[in-house]
Structures are given as C-alpha cells and as structure tokens.
Amino acid sequence: MKLSLSLTTSSLVFGLLIILFSSLPGMSRQIENGGDSGLSLAVFDVDATPPVGSLLAYDPMEKKDDLGLRARGIVIIGSGLPIVLCAVDWIGIANESQDAFKSRLAKAASTLPSRVAVHTVHQHDAPISDWGAEKLLLDAGLDPKAFDSSFDRVLLDRLDKAIQKTMQSPQPLTHIGTGKATVEKVASNRRIKGPDGKIRYSRTSSTKDPKIRDYPEGLIDPEVSLISFWNEEEPLAVLSYYAVHPQSYYLTKIANPDFPGIARYLRQLAVPEALHVHFNGAGANVTAGKYNDGAKINRKILAERLAAGMEQAWRNTVKSKINPSAVYWNQESVRLPANEKIPEIGREMHQQNARWLTNNMQKLAWYQRKQQGKKIAISCLSIGDARILHLPGELFVEYQLAAKAERPDLFVAMAAYGDYGPFYIGTAAAYEEDGYEINVSPVTSEAEPILMKAIKNLLHNPGQVNDQKSPYILQNEKNVPIKTLAEWKGKKRTWKNNMAAIMGTLPSRENLAVPSLTYLDTVKENGFNRYRIRFDSDDTNEVTAYLYVPEKSSSRPAMLVLHSTGDLGKKIVDGQGPLENRGIARELAERGYVVIAPDYPSFGEQMDHDFSKDGFPSGTLLGVWNHMRCVDVLSQMKEVDPDRIGVIGHSLGGHNALFTAVHDERIQAVVSSCGWTPFDYYDIGEAGTERYGGRLGPWAQDRYMPAIKKLLPDAQLPFDFTDIIASIAPRPVFTNAPVQDSNFAVEGVKAAIAEIHPVYSWLGFPAHLIVRYPDTGHDFPPAIRKEAYAFLDEFFGFEPENRNLFE
C-alpha cells in the first residue's frame, strides 16, 4: 500500500483521506489483521533552546528563532528492554556528555544505556555539549565557554520528565512504513579535486565563488529515507534520514534549526498526527554549497526542497505488519585509531580563542578516553526489513553508500553525528587527498576498515529472533515477556534470593572503609612488582594475597584472579604449583594488568581458617565477601581504572569468579575455566555419591555451601549456574569447557549455554556469551588462555605491553 499526502494538506483533509483509503481492499485487510502486536511506542518532544545570553557553539545567543531548537525521539517497548532513539538540534554531543545523556534517558525509559542512541542534527547556531572537554578546560583554569554544561542539565531534566510521562501511555505499535525519494538540488560534495588528485577547493555550506559552485554535484546520497511507526492506520512517528551539512548560513547569534528544522516543521504541519524526528546522515563531505551562495532566501528554498523529498518519500511509503520478534537491537564497540598530534591541543588551548576551543577540545577529550580504553558504540536497530545504523562523528558519505550497497535487499538508513568526539572521519583514500576535513580529523585512515567491519557485522547479523517464550525473559509467575529494566531487576532479585537461601546473604557494605594494606614482602620481576599483602576484610576475617603492579602504571585494567583447589592457594596462579597452565595471575601481570590474587579460605596462608568462627553462613559467601574486598582495593588504586576490572579463575576459581561477579557489578568481564555445569549434570559417580552422602555432597562442605547438607541425598537447589550467568548478563562471560572435563560435564555446559543465549540476544549482546570446548581434560590449555586474554584485551580496550611465552 502506498500513501499520498500533499505538503500543504490540512489535518481535516488528511482525516478525510484516511476514511477514504480505509474503504480500499488493501487497507481493510490491514485493519482486519491488526490487533495487539505486543509492541508499543512512546514519543517525546522538548524544547532544547538555551536561554538568551547563553553561549552557542560559536557565539553568544542574542535571541532564538521562531521554531527554536528541539530534542525529539521515540521509545520502542515490547521487544527486549525499551529502545530509545533521540535527535537533538545541537551541533554535537560528545564523550562524557554522550554517557550522561544515554544514562539519563535510559533511566527515564527503564532500560540500559546501551539501548539508547543520541544524535545531533548538527545545526551550527546551536549548543555543543562535552562534559569531558568542560572538565579539561576547568582543570586548566580556563573558562569552559561553549562547553559550559549548565543548560545540558536543564535539557536532561526536561527529557527525563517527558520520557517518564510518555511511558505511562504508549500507543500500540502494529506496523512500520518505509519510503525513500530523491531530494533535488540540496546536496553537493564538498571536496573538489585538482588534476593531481589532491583537494583543490572546498565547497562550503554557502559558497560565494560561482566557479566553485559550478563544479558537478559530485558524490552524494541523493535519497531521503523515511521510517514511520503506526498503530494500524494512525501514524505515530516519522523518522527521516538525509546526509548533508545542515547549514544555509550561520553565526547569526540566533538559535535556529536551519533548513532541516524548517523542512521537519513543514512535514509536521502536513502530517500532524505523527511526531517527526530528523536525523542527519553521513554528511561530513556533503554541503548545500553548489545550490547556496549564502543568500538568506536560500534557507527557505533548501527547506522546501528537502520537505518535497520527504513528501515524496511519504507518498512512496509501504507499510508492513510487525511483531516483537521482528525488532532487534545489536551493537558493536570500536576503538578508532588516533592521530598522535591530538595531545598538542592540550598545549595550545591556553593561547587559543573560543572558536578554536569549540572545534578542538572534544577531540582531546576523545583522545584521552581512548587512552583509557573507552570505546564508541555502533548500533543497529533491525525492525522488519529496515535497518537503522547509528554511527559516531562526522562521517564521509561513502560510509552511508557502502552500508546501503552492503544490503540492497534491506531498507538501510544511517544516522551519523552520534558521539561527536571523533569529529571528522574520512575514508582511507581521503587521507591521501588532503583537504580541510582530513587536516582537522583526529582519527587516521585506519578508521575505515574498523568502521566498515562493524557496519557489515551489524548488517549481516543473522536477525536474532527475540525468544519471547524463554523463561528467563518472562516475568515471574507470568507468561508475559519482561518489558522494562525495573521488571528485569525484579527477576534478578528473585534469582539472588534463591542463591541466598543456600549461600546466605552478604553483610551490609554501607560506610565500608577501604582496606588498609600491610605489605609483607616485595619481589621485583621483569616489568612488574609482586607484593605479598594482607588486610582485614571485616572485624573477624583477613585476606592474604599477591598484588602485581606493573611499572609506571596508571589507570589501567585490573584483574581479580582466583585459584583452583589446592593447598598452595594463591601460589598456584603465580605458577609455583606442579601443574602447567595455572599461572594466570603472573601471565596477566606480564601483559601489563594490575592483578590481585587472594587465598580462598582454607588454602594457602588461610589453611587454618575456622569456618565455625568466621561469622558467615557459608565458605562460598565468605569467599565472595573477601573477593569483593579485593575489588575495593583495586578500585582505589591510582594504577587502576575502576571501570575496567574483571575476574578470572580456574576450577574452584572458575565458579567463584561467577559467584563474585553476580554479587559485584563493578566486575565488568568474567572468565571461568572448568568452573561450572548445571547441578543436574554434576556427577561424581556411585562411589563419590556414597562417600559424600549425595551427588551434590562435595558442594555441601563447610568451605562451600553447608546448607546443602540438609537437602541430601537428593538435593534440588533453588538456583543454578544458568540463573547466575543470566544475572551477570549483558556483561561478557567467557567459559572454557573442555570436552573431557571429569569435574564439570561439557554436555551440561552446552545445554546451559542454549538456555542463556536468548538472554544475551534479548539484551542486544549475543557476542558477550562466549564458550570454547577444547579437546582436553580439566585444564586451561595455552590456546584457550591466549583467546581468553585476547577477549579481555579487546573488551577493556587494552594493548598488552608484553606477550606471554606461549603466544
């Protein structure tokens, strides 16, 4: 079915047309086959215009345009946790500001920040936001100028309230529509080459020189793409995507949305039932310069041309019915390569003017985040046959064209200007051609293969279907899928309470002091120092551990390393035991990680531990408490980035890694080697069962969970490892499960992974659940350790300083 609406159609005529169309056979079938899809949509729209007197990106604001600036978006509810898409009429939102916006919008929508996309339309007479850049300037004793965050917080309050309000009354979402059309005489390529292949002219947004305007249009994406959301025949929202620098003229000291904002407004008048949200595509090297000499009338002309393309795309729209399984969110995080000249910005900022600071400080903030291992998320919303890619920075249009060419069988749209930190991102070829965009770009030519790999992976995702029947994503005692983060947290609380029934409940950690370390001895190794330490974990218990600190280290990732069963305790992971492949603490320290490796109670220096006097209901819970206190130690070390802490362990350490991670959300990544299988698959044979008084008898020892003794011989526990790993999701979990492991049956691991995988897919992180099945016994072989370490390096954005001997 195609919809035809005039740009000047009034709402009354629109209503009459809908009545007329509804009598057509195709329309009647859609109404008849409608009904509750299980999906719903909430829309929000708030004023994003700062008060007069504020600093815009380049000038103080003297007044606002009649339209003002808007922050608009949608929330999709009913397929996994809510998905939030937001476009703001600002020039850019970067780095720490992206974190803040995503976190606040996620909280308002009861979802995860990873399921929020925040973009700007990139109008230049508008604010810029980067809390990281603001901090750099303040720390240097400088006025943050355009980066002052005062109004950012006002806008966040407005968005918070608007989203919370709209979430109370979402509309049923039954169909989506897709349509595209050519936009005539708006976009032209900015970069004009000379005979030598180098960029000779830059066709800026308003190009005065007629000779430069007269060059051919060049490479652009001429299409505007529309994705619309419907409740049967009622349009709820229309998202538009078009790649061009959105300036007709600027530096007016008047906050205004320029010609894309006017075009959006015209379409809002034509289709008032739906909220219109506009996203800028990959328009870094695309401007209106061929069709704009800077005359003020051109703002109206360009807006009308863009609106005409939007109208035709609306006419070309084809609707299709959707259900929750047709909606899927996925993302990949990338580290873009940095131009190593960026640190010079820090040395120049004291001598530069406000405009220079606006164009450069977010680059330095991004560079420093990259050095800290922070990545940029690239996401894709799959909805029916449509794919919406969300990309950072100012991308060259070639990325958008390549994405569309990659999947010509799908309706592909791209929103750029997400995280504004990396600024201009050219193609690899462009970095050989020179030109303005390349001269100011903070990334290098190696960015292209990294971005294109992520784009291709997202577009070729096999279309993970949200398993709405998986018991792990259904509300407790209801056959209804979980739809909000609050409901998901309620489900996790149930699992945790079930664990507490056997392990016990942790003491309160409120007002807990940072442990005071006693250094017992020091061994200087090649590249790091190994300290033997002790500290009180509470009034009764103490922790003894090895602490490995690389030389000249600061703000780097850290690992809690847990040893396997053995009297040597922590010495096992230091490589002092008789078995090979156990020295994981030392190996990680050699790579450059800060490492802490404690003794588990009753092993190592804790050999004489008396479980009857430690005040804990189980040895497992005491282990968790001690391990969390180790994380306390790591978190306050200047050598450690507290946002990059993981845990790894083998055997006893393998399941204790999981137990600790489920209790401590500061742990961002988990590696469990030979550490688990579902309890139904735990089999110690007839002799072992008789010896321990039941199949799960070994778990009932004082050093583990003695409450199980009361449930023997046929113990059925109220929780399982599937619940534990589901509770850890979407944090990544890497499992080593050898096929010949006599302790933890590989068949159970395979069955459990199949149960847990829908949770990771439902949360949008299927690649975060990793398992390997080496053909070996109860061991952590070199090939799998190499892969596990690479997994940690990649997740933490860490370049190892040294490689291990087995690599």
pLDDT tens digits along 165-214: 999 999 999 999 999 999 999 999 999 999 999 999 999 999 999 999 99
Q: Is there a single domain that holds both residue 432 and residue 508? A: no
Whether residue 620 contacts residue 503, with contact meaning beta carbons closer than 8 Å, is answered with yes
Name the E strands within 294-445.
Answer: 318-321, 327-334, 376-383, 386-390, 394-395, 411-415, 424-425
Q: For position 339, what pLDDT does the model report?
A: 95
Out of 459, 485, 504, a domain closes at 459
- Over range 415-431, report the average pLDDT: 97
What CATH number is associated with residue 680?
3.40.50.1820
Residue 42's nearest CA partner among 176, 184, 208, 236 is 236
Residue 446 lies in a domain: yes
Question: How big is the CA angle at 673 (ends 648 and 473), to the nearest 5 degrees?
Answer: 85
| Strands 411-415 vs 424-425: parallel, antiparallel or unpaired | unpaired
Sign of the CA dihedral 34, 36, 41, 42?
positive
Q: Is there a single domain that holds both residue 650 and residue 545? A: yes
SS (H, E, C) 661-714: HHHCCCEEEEEEECCCCCHHHCCCHHHHHHHHCCCCHHHHCCCCCHHHHHHCCC
Question: How big is the CA angle at 582 (ends 597 and 803), to the nearest 5 degrees?
Answer: 85
What total number of domains does the chain contain? 2
Whether residue 785 contacts residue 770, with contact meaning beta carbons closer than 8 Å, is answered with no
Sign of the CA dihedral 687, 688, 691, 694?
negative
Q: Tell me the residue range of the domain where 662 lies.
A: 495-796
Residue 36: exposure state from Cβ atoms within 10 A (0-12, 13-18, ≥19): exposed
Q: Give 293's Cβ-side CA count (13 Å radius).
A: 8
| Strands 640-650 vs 667-673: parallel, antiparallel or unpaired | parallel
Q: For position 15, what pLDDT does the model report?
A: 38
The size of the chain, in residues, is 807
Q: For position 554, what pLDDT does the model report?
A: 85
Whether residue 289 contacts residue 252, with contact meaning beta carbons closer than 8 Å, is answered with no
Q: For position 416, what pLDDT does the model report?
A: 98
% of the chain with per-residue pLDDT over 70 = 94
Q: In the beta sheet, which residues pair with residue 118?
A: 86
- Can you tell me the distance from the alpha carbon of 43 to that of 386, in angstroms, rounded to the nearest whole number? 20
pLDDT tens digits, one per residue of 591-621:
999 999 999 999 999 999 999 999 999 999 9
Question: How big is the CA angle at 718 (ends 717 and 722), to the nearest 5 degrees?
Answer: 90
User: Could you tell me the pLDDT band of residue 688, with boundaries at 50, 70 and 90?
Assistant: very high
Peptide bond into 730 cis (omega under 30): yes
Q: Give 22's Cβ-side CA count (13 Å radius).
A: 11
Out of 443, 459, 475, a domain closes at 459
State the amino acid at position 693 in one-letter form: G
pLDDT tens digits, one per residue of 737-788:
999 999 999 999 999 999 999 999 999 999 999 999 999 999 999 999 999 9
Q: In the beta sheet, which residues pair with residue 332?
A: 378
- Can you tell me the distance from the alpha carbon of 11 to that of 4, in angstroms, rounded to the nearest whole number? 14
- The residue written with tokens 């971005």 in the block is 451
Q: In the beta sheet, which residues pair with residue 545?
A: 533, 598
- Can you tell me the distance from the alpha carbon of 588 to that of 527, in angstroms, rounded to the nearest whole number? 12
Q: Is there a single domain that holds both residue 94 and residue 204? A: yes
User: Could you tell me the pLDDT band of residue 31, with boundaries at 50, 70 and 90?
Assistant: very low
- Can you tell me the distance from the alpha carbon of 463 to that of 761, in angstroms, rounded to the nearest whole number? 10
Whether residue 419 contacts residue 379, with contact meaning beta carbons closer than 8 Å, is answered with no
- The residue written with tokens 């190994």 in the block is 530
Q: Is there a single domain that holds both residue 678 and residue 553? A: yes
Residue 333 lies in a domain: yes
User: Could you tell me the pLDDT band of residue 402, with boundaries at 50, 70 and 90?
Assistant: very high
Residue 478 lies in a domain: no
Q: For position 467, what pLDDT does the model report?
A: 60
% of the chain with per-residue pLDDT over 90 = 90
Angle, to 10 degrees, between the axis of helix 619-635 and the axis of helix 485-503? 130
- Can you tell me the distance from the alpha carbon of 631 to that of 636, in angstroms, rounded to the nearest whole number? 9
The pair of structure tokens assigned to 557 is 């990732």
For residue 88, the SS3 value is strand
User: Could you tell me the pLDDT band of residue 241, with boundaries at 50, 70 and 90?
Assistant: very high
pLDDT tens digits, one per residue of 462-498:
655 556 678 898 887 678 889 999 999 999 999 999 9
Q: Is there a single domain that holds both residue 88 and residue 207? A: yes
Q: Is there a single domain that holds both residue 293 and residue 434? A: yes
Out of 410, 431, 459, a domain closes at 459
Q: Is there a single domain that holds both residue 405 and residue 530? A: no
Query: How does DSSP assign 62-84, residue by residue?
Result: -EE-SS--EEEEEEEESSSS-EE
Render the burial of 327-353: b for 16+ CB within 10 Å, e for the rest: bbbbbbebbbebbeebeebeeebeeee
- Can you tell me the distance from the alpha carbon of 393 to that of 370, in angstroms, rounded to the nearest whole number? 14
Residue 480 lies in a domain: no
Residue 183's nearest CA partner among 306, 5, 311, 6 is 306
25 or 794: which carries more pLDDT confidence?
A: 794
- Can you tell me the distance from the alpha carbon of 715 to that of 307, in angstroms, rounded to the nearest whole number? 68
- Can you tell me the distance from the alpha carbon of 665 to that of 687, in angstroms, rounded to the nearest whole number? 39
Whether residue 260 is predicted with pLDDT greater than 70 in this model: the reply is yes
Q: For position 469, what pLDDT does the model report?
A: 74
- Over range 238-257, report the average pLDDT: 97
Q: For position 475, what pLDDT does the model report?
A: 84
Radius of gyration of the chain (CA): 29
Whether residue 736 contacts residue 581, with contact meaning beta carbons closer than 8 Å, is answered with no
Q: Is there a single domain that holds both residue 105 and residue 240? A: yes
Q: Is there a single domain that holds both residue 68 and residue 188? A: yes
pLDDT tens digits, one per residue of 287-309:
999 999 999 999 999 999 999 99
Sheet containing 318-321: give its strands across: 275-280, 234-242, 223-231, 175-182, 318-321
- Can you tell me the distance from the alpha carbon of 601 to that of 587, in angstroms, rounded to the nearest whole number? 24
Q: Is there a single domain that holds both residue 251 and residue 357? A: yes
Residue 291's nearest CA partner among 192, 187, 221, 183 is 187
- Can you tell me the distance from the alpha carbon of 381 to that of 389, in angstroms, rounded to the nearest whole number? 7
Distance set, CA 596 to CA 58, 543, 561, 757, 782 (Å): 48, 11, 6, 31, 21
Residue 780's nearest CA partner among 674, 677, 676 is 674
- Can you tell me the distance from the alpha carbon of 655 to that of 151, in angstroms, rounded to the nearest whole number? 47
Residue 707 lies in a domain: yes
Residue 602 lies in a domain: yes
Whether residue 633 is predicted with pLDDT greater than 50 in this model: the reply is yes
Sign of the CA dihedral 196, 197, 202, 203?
positive
pLDDT tens digits, one per residue of 639-649:
999 999 999 99
Residue 482 lies in a domain: no
Q: Long-range contacts of range 110-113, CB-CB < 8 Å, 24 or more positions apart?
A: 110/81, 110/82, 110/167, 110/484, 110/485, 110/486, 111/81, 111/82, 111/83, 111/84, 111/484, 111/485, 112/81, 112/485, 112/730, 112/763
Q: For position 329, what pLDDT does the model report?
A: 94
Q: For position 801, what pLDDT does the model report?
A: 85
User: Could you tell me the pLDDT band of residue 412, with boundaries at 50, 70 and 90?
Assistant: very high
User: Could you tell me the pLDDT band of residue 13, with boundaries at 50, 70 and 90?
Assistant: very low
> Whole-structure pTM over 0.75, yes or no?
yes
- The residue written with tokens 């980067």 in the block is 130
Whether residue 1 is predicted with pLDDT greater than 50 in this model: the reply is no
For residue 763, the SS3 value is helix
- Over range 259-265, report the average pLDDT: 98
Whether residue 29 is predicted with pLDDT greater than 60 in this model: the reply is no
Residue 630 lies in a domain: yes
Contacts of residue 488, Cβ cutoff 8 Å, sequence gap at least 6 = 81, 482
Q: Is there a single domain that holds both residue 52 and residue 160? A: yes
State the amino acid at position 659 in one-letter form: F
Q: What are phi and psi of 124, to 5 degrees?
A: -90, -25
The pair of structure tokens assigned to 263 is 């075009």
Mean pLDDT over each residue of the chain, to the nearest integer = 93
Q: Is there a single domain that holds both residue 136 and residue 229? A: yes
Sheet containing 327-334: give its strands across: 327-334, 376-383, 386-390, 411-415
pLDDT tens digits, one per residue of 522-570:
999 999 999 999 999 999 999 999 999 999 878 899 999 999 999 999 9
Q: What are phi and psi of 287, to 5 degrees?
A: -135, 180
Distance set, CA 619 to CA 121, 336, 500, 550, 631 (Å): 56, 45, 13, 32, 18
User: Could you tell me the pLDDT band of residue 802, with boundaries at 50, 70 and 90?
Assistant: confident
Name the E strands within 1-149.
Answer: 39-47, 63-64, 70-77, 83-88, 92-93, 116-120, 128-129
Q: In the beta sheet, which residues pair with residue 333?
A: 377
Q: For position 33, what pLDDT does the model report?
A: 32
Whether residue 5 is predicted with pLDDT greater than 80 in this model: the reply is no
